[in-house]
C-alpha cells in the first residue's frame, strides 16, 4: 500500500509538470539595455569573434527556458529577480546584469563609462581594447579585470566602494599612481605598464597583494601602512634610496629586485612571516646584505650593480666597501696582480687598475670598483734617486699646439738614455692613445735632448705623456687646439 501511494504521488507530480508549460521570460530595464548597447557599439561589437545575440539595440526582453545564468546574450550573466507577471502562457521575471566576461574575443574598441548598478564582475581581459579608462558608475563592482589590452592614459581615482580585485597589468597606462580610495581592495595588479613618478603611501586597509613590476617608478619606497599585505612586488623599476623598516606583520613574499636601491637593508624583525626576499640587481654592499642571511626560505641577493669608489693616495690605491669577510682582488689591464684581505694596493707598474671584492658569507656575489689610471709608481726619495736612473723634464713647447711637433726638453743619466718605447700617451679618460712612429728622441748631448711628438691628425684636447726611465716616471701635460 505504501509503495502504491508513492507511485501515485510521482505520477501526479509528473502530470502537473508536463501540463504546466508556461514560457519563462526574463526582462531587463530599458536603462540596462541601453548601457549594454552602448558597450557593444563603443567596443566594436560587430567585429567580435563571438557576439551571439548582441546588436546595436539590445532588447529589453531576453527569453530562456531554464535559468538566467546562461542567458542568450553572450558573455553576460543575469540574476533573476522578482516576478513581474504570471499567467498560463508565461512567467516574466525581473533580471539584472551581474557579470560581464568577454575575454580573448579580439575586442578592439574603447570602454564606455558603464552604468550598471548591480554588476559585480567586469572581465574584459586579453583583448585589444584601447583608449583611456573611464571612472565607471558601478557601485556593486567587486572584480575589475582589464589586463592584457592596449589601454592608455592615467589610472583614474575610481569611486568603486566594493571593489576587491583590480587587474590593469600589461597595458600602456602612464602617469603617476593615484592615492586610491578603495576600502575593500584586496588585490592590486598594475604590472607591465609605463607608470612613473613616486609610489603613493596607499591607504588600503584590506590589501593582500600589491604588484607593480616592470614599470618606471622612481623615488623612494614609502613606509606602507598595509596591515593585511601578504605579497609585495616592486621589481624592475627605478626606485632609489633605502628600504623602509616595514611594519607589515602578514607579509610573506617581498620582491624588490632590479631597482637602484642602496644603503642599509633593515633586519625586518617585525615581519616574522616573511619567507621570500629578493634584493638582487640593486646597489647594495656586503654589510647591507649580511643582516638577513639565514632568515628566509628563499633569499636572493646576487648580483648587485654596485660600483665601488676607488682612490689614490701617494703610492697606494684603495677601495671603500663594508662587509665582515671580504677578499680584494686587484687587476691591471684585466690581469690579476694581487689578492688578499687588504683593501689597498701599491702598484708596481703604471696602467688601468680596478678591484673586485668577494665575501665568503655571500657566495657568488662580486662587487667591482671603478677604474683608475695609475700614471706614477715607485717614487723615490732624494737620496735614493742618486742611485737610480735619473730623469728630468722641462715644460713642453709650443703650448698650446695646433699642428706640427711638440717638443719636451729632457735630461737623463749617461748610462741609460730614454727611448720612444719608454713613452705612453693618455687622454683625460685614462685611455692610452697609440701613436706608433710619432714619437722620436732628438739628442743634443749624451745626457739630454728632446722628446718630439708629431701631433698631426691628433684631435684637440688635453693629453698626458708618461715618460719612464728605470724606476723614475714623469708626467707631462700637453694641450692641443
Question: What domain range is 91 assigned to?
Answer: 25-300
Same domain as 182, residue 86: yes
d(C-alpha 235, C-alpha 225), whole Å: 20
Higher pLDDT, 412 or 373: 373
d(C-alpha 210, C-alpha 476), whole Å: 59
At residue 420, does pLDDT exceed 90?
Answer: no
Same domain as 275, residue 161: yes
The x, y and z cell numbers of residue 181, run together, are 580610495
CATH number for position 68: 3.80.10.10
- How many domains, the chain? 3
Contact predicate 339/366, CB 8 Å: no
Confidence class for position 239, pLDDT limits 50, 70, 90? very high
Confidence class for position 20, pLDDT limits 50, 70, 90? very low
Same domain as 325, residue 410: no
Give the chain's mean pLDDT.
87
Confidence class for position 447, pLDDT limits 50, 70, 90? confident
Lowest mean pLDDT across 166-170, 279-283, 324-328, 399-403: 399-403
Domain presence at residue 18:
no
Indicate the helix (H) or strand (E) that contains 463.
strand 461-469
CATH number for position 390: 2.60.40.10
Instruction: From 374, 390, 420, give the residue that closes a domain.
Output: 374
State residue 388's pLDDT score. Answer: 44
Same domain as 287, residue 187: yes
The x, y and z cell numbers of residue 477, run together, are 701635460
Domain presence at residue 19:
no
State residue 205's pLDDT score. Answer: 96
Confidence class for position 10, pLDDT limits 50, 70, 90? very low
- Within 10 Å of residue 40's Cβ, how many Cβ atoms? 21
Instruction: From 322, 345, 374, give the residue that closes a domain.
Output: 374
At residue 3, does pLDDT exceed 70?
Answer: no
Same domain as 234, residue 90: yes
At residue 406, does pLDDT exceed 90?
Answer: yes
At residue 249, does pLDDT exceed 90?
Answer: yes
Contact predicate 286/326, CB 8 Å: yes
- Per-residue pLDDT tens over the stretch 70-99: 567 889 988 888 888 887 788 888 889 999
Same domain as 61, residue 205: yes
d(C-alpha 252, C-alpha 270), whole Å: 12
User: For 163-217, where are the alpha helices, taking DSSP H only?
Assistant: none
Q: Is 177 left (phi over 0), alpha (psi -120 to 50) or beta?
A: beta
Domain presence at residue 16:
no
Does residue 7 have a cis peptide bond before it, meaning omega lies within 30 degrees of 0?
A: no
State residue 382's pLDDT score. Answer: 40
Instruction: From 300, 322, 342, give the residue that closes a domain.
Output: 300
Same domain as 320, residue 218: no
Same domain as 353, residue 291: no
State residue 156's pLDDT score. Answer: 95
Does residue 400 have a cis peptide bond before it, meaning omega lies within 30 degrees of 0?
A: yes
Amino acid at each position: 500500500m505504501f509503495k502504491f501511494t508513492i507511485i501515485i504521488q510521482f505520477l501526479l507530480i509528473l502530470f502537473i509538470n508536463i501540463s504546466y508549460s508556461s514560457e519563462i521570460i526574463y526582462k531587463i530595464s530599458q536603462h540596462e539595455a541601453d548601457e549594454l548597447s552602448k558597450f557593444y557599439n563603443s567596443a566594436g561589437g560587430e567585429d567580435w569573434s563571438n557576439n551571439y545575440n548582441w546588436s546595436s539595440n539590445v532588447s529589453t526582453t531576453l527569453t530562456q527556458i531554464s535559468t538566467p545564468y546562461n542567458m542568450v546574450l553572450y558573455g553576460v550573466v543575469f540574476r533573476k529577480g522578482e516576478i513581474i507577471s504570471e499567467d498560463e502562457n508565461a512567467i516574466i521575471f525581473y533580471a539584472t546584469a551581474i557579470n560581464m566576461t568577454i575575454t580573448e574575443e579580439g575586442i578592439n574598441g574603447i570602454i564606455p563609462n558603464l552604468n550598471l548598478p548591480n554588476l559585480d564582475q567586469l572581465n574584459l581581459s586579453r583583448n585589444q581594447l584601447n583608449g583611456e579608462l573611464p571612472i565607471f558608475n558601478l557601485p556593486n563592482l567587486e572584480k575589475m579585470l582589464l589586463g592584457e589590452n592596449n589601454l592608455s592614459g592615467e589610472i583614474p581615482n575610481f569611486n568603486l566602494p566594493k571593489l576587491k580585485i583590480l587587474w590593469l597589468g600589461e597595458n600602456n597606462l602612464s602617469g603617476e599612481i593615484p592615492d586610491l580610495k578603495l576600502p575593500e581592495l584586496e588585490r592590486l595588479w598594475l604590472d607591465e605598464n609605463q607608470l612613473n613618478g613616486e609610489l603613493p603611501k596607499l591607504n588600503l586597509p584590506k590589501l593582500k597583494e600589491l604588484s607593480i613590476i616592470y614599470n618606471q617608478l622612481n623615488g623612494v619606497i614609502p613606509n606602507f601602512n598595509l596591515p593585511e599585505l601578504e605579497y609585495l612586488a616592486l621589481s624592475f623599476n627605478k626606485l632609489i634610496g633605502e628600504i623602509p623598516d616595514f611594519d607589515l606583520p602578514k607579509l610573506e613574499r617581498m620582491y624588490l629586485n632590479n631597482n637602484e636601491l642602496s644603503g642599509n637593508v633593515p633586519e625586518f624583525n617585525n615581519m616574522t612571516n616573511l619567507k621570500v626576499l629578493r634584493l638582487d640587481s640593486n646597489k647594495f654592499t656586503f654589510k647591507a646584505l649580511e643582516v638577513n642571511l639565514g632568515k628566509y626560505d628563499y633569499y636572493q641577493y646576487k648580483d648587485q650593480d654596485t660600483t665601488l669608489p676607488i682612490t689614490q693616495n701617494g703610492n697606494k690605491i684603495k677601495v671603500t666597501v663594508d662587509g665582515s669577510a671580504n677578499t680584494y682582488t686587484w687587476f691591471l689591464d684585466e690581469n690579476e696582480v694581487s689578492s688578499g684581505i687588504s683593501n689597498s694596493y701599491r702598484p708596481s707598474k703604471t696602467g688601468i687598475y680596478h678591484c673586485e671584492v668577494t665575501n665568503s658569507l655571500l657566495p657568488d656575489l662580486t662587487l667591482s670598483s671603478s677604474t683608475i689610471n695609475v700614471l706614477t709608481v715607485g717614487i723615490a726619495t732624494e737620496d735614493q734617486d742618486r742611485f737610480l736612473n735619473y730623469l728630468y723634464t722641462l715644460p713642453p713647447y709650443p703650448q698650446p699646439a695646433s699642428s706640427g711637433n711638440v717638443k719636451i726638453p729632457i735630461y737623463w743619466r749617461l748610462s741609460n738614455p730614454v727611448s720612444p718605447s719608454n713613452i705612453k700617451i693618455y687622454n683625460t679618460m685614462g685611455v692610452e692613445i697609440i701613436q706608433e712612429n710619432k714619437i722620436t728622441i732628438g739628442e743634443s748631448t749624451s745626457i739630454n735632448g728632446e722628446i718630439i711628438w708629431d701631433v698631426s691628425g691628433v684631435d684637440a684636447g688635453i693629453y698626458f705623456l708618461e715618460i719612464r726611465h728605470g724606476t723614475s716616471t714623469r708626467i707631462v701635460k700637453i694641450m692641443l687646439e
